[in-house]
Amino acid sequence: MVIHVVRSGETLWQIANRYNVSMNGIIEGNGLQNPNQLVVGQSLVVPVPGTWHVIKSGETLWSISQQYGVTINSIIQANQISNANLLYPGTRLLIPSRIHVIQPGETLWQVANRYGVTVQAIISENQIQNPNLIYPGLQLRIPVQKQTVEVNAYSYQADASGAQTIHELGDFLTYASPFAYLINESGDLQPVRDDLMIQAAIAENVVPMMSITNFTSTAAGSNVAHTILASPEIREKVITNVLRIMEEKGYKGVNIDFENVLPADRVNYNQFLQLTVDRLHPRGYFVSTAVAPKQSATQAGLLYEAHDYEAHGRIADFVVLMTYEWGYRLGPPQAISPVNQMRRVVEYALSVMPAEKIFLGFQIYARDWLLPHVQGQEAETFSTQEAVARAVKYGAAIQYDTLTQSPFFRYVDEQGRGHEVWFEDARSAQAKFDLAKEFNLRGISYWALGYPYPSNWTLLQDNFNIRKLSQ
């Protein structure tokens, strides 16, 4: 895949011609609602065979060519490199596909075995309709071996809408987590309409993961968390209720998302996690947690202090880093998931827990703030597609902040009010995937389904193999 950034005056036809691909391929991969309306700065995923490599310190074109089994010249040509000796760490290179010419009597199985890939990967890469009809001289692109990850997605959609989304995106998901069962101070769980989402998940070979929490958009939940965590009896009741719902509904594991926990309840929270694991593991269920985006063990604040990264990494089966919401809906305009901040969180997490337990959190929506920002004034939240539509409507060129790896633009509405919009695009998605690959993390966790973002899913599949777990 190639990510192309639209320049002034460019048309989709010109872009397709430049890369020798069909316009329909670009339209489908990006979910373009109006292909005739492109905006300067808009990033498009272009279905060009190949994969991306981010140059690391000390690497040479020779070492990179050996890693991917391609020639140095093919890399030079694909990236129009003028000086092969000047490689800068952090630069992204397009690695072209290897080409294999079918020999007499050769089968797809033999080809796949030779290159260490699957037959299905070759079929998909070359869009082979009938695997039995291959012939000598046929040129096949050999897909690059991709890192395998697990993918979770939370959803606070209504049950029917959430189920439809899971059906649409099931191929990209390992887990689906309807959000969320709210715990009250007595240890009871508020009912959730999630039957259709669970059924959809099971039908799509996606593991349904129960989500429990102590907070709402209007209540911090600190007192609720304290009442539960300080009482052995209520803690046991919560776990009993979780088990009952999991068994009744078909959940395979639980994600524990206690937020705004009082610092004094840190040890109690760790004990609650251990108790949950001790009761759920013998029954074959897994336990995961969601943690605030800490960048050090001593980070102060209600969001952070009670989230003990070392304990969560030791006790839970995996941990979701909630690396989003820097651009908070009630705060000033800024990138919502800035990669520079996400990197600091990941680096701290890796200092106290293994990479194979870490999910990188990724928000998939846009925000529109009124200018000048007034503290407490709420930004509007919507999809990345709507963000591009607004840029088109108001003739705003999309800019890209290289520090946070995030797109943004400003516009003036019909009432003369200024706006600033931060969102996600193909470039920002790729930056996050590069981060996950750099540290070999276990997976990606999306917050939250219901906001269309086609280029993300196109790139996710291009970057990774999605692990599917037997149920």
Is 70 exceeded by the pLDDT of residue 302?
Answer: yes
pLDDT tens digit sequence for 148-159? 999 999 999 999
Between residues 326 and 79, the one the model is more confident about: 326
Confidence of residue 80 (pLDDT cuts 50, 70, 90): confident
CB 176 within 8 A of CB 469: no
Q: Which pTM was predicted?
A: 0.91
Is 90 exceeded by the pLDDT of residue 255?
Answer: yes
E runs forming strands in 18-74: 43-46, 51-54
For 414-443, give one letter per residue: b (16+ CB within 10 A) or e.
eeeeebbbbbbbbbbbbbbbbbbbeeebbb
| Segment 216-234 mean pLDDT | 89
pLDDT at position 97, please? Answer: 84
pLDDT at position 95, please? Answer: 87
Between residues 157 and 49, the one the model is more confident about: 157
Cis peptide before 379 (omega within 30 of 0): no
Distance, CA of 266 to CA of 278 (rounded, Å): 19
Is 90 exceeded by the pLDDT of residue 29?
Answer: yes
Instruction: Identify the burial level of 116 via C-beta atoms within 10 angstroms of its C-beta, where 0-12 means exposed, 13-18 middle and 19 or more buried.
Output: exposed
| Whole-number average pLDDT of the chain | 94
Selecting among 150, 204, 259, 305, the annotated active-site residue is 259
Largest Cα–Cα distance of the chain, in whole Å?
A: 73
Distance, CA of 390 to CA of 409 (rounded, Å): 10
Is 70 exceeded by the pLDDT of residue 460?
Answer: yes
Distance, CA of 362 to CA of 338 (rounded, Å): 10
Question: What distance lies between CA 115 and its chain's CA centroid?
Answer: 29
Q: In this structure, which amino acid lies at residue 33?
A: Q
Is 90 exceeded by the pLDDT of residue 354?
Answer: yes
Confidence of residue 116 (pLDDT cuts 50, 70, 90): confident
| Segment 373-381 mean pLDDT | 94
pLDDT tens digit sequence for 393-416? 999 999 999 999 999 999 999 999
**Residues of the chain above pLDDT 90, percent:** 83
N-to-C CA span, the chain:
32
Is 80 exceeded by the pLDDT of residue 282?
Answer: yes
At 287, is the secondary structure helix, strand, or coil? strand
Confidence of residue 163 (pLDDT cuts 50, 70, 90): very high
| Segment 129-139 mean pLDDT | 91
Is 70 exceeded by the pLDDT of residue 146?
Answer: yes
Distance, CA of 224 to CA of 260 (rounded, Å): 10
CB 209 within 8 A of CB 253: yes
Check if 236 is active-site.
no
CB 249 within 8 A of CB 198: yes
pLDDT at position 471, please? Answer: 59
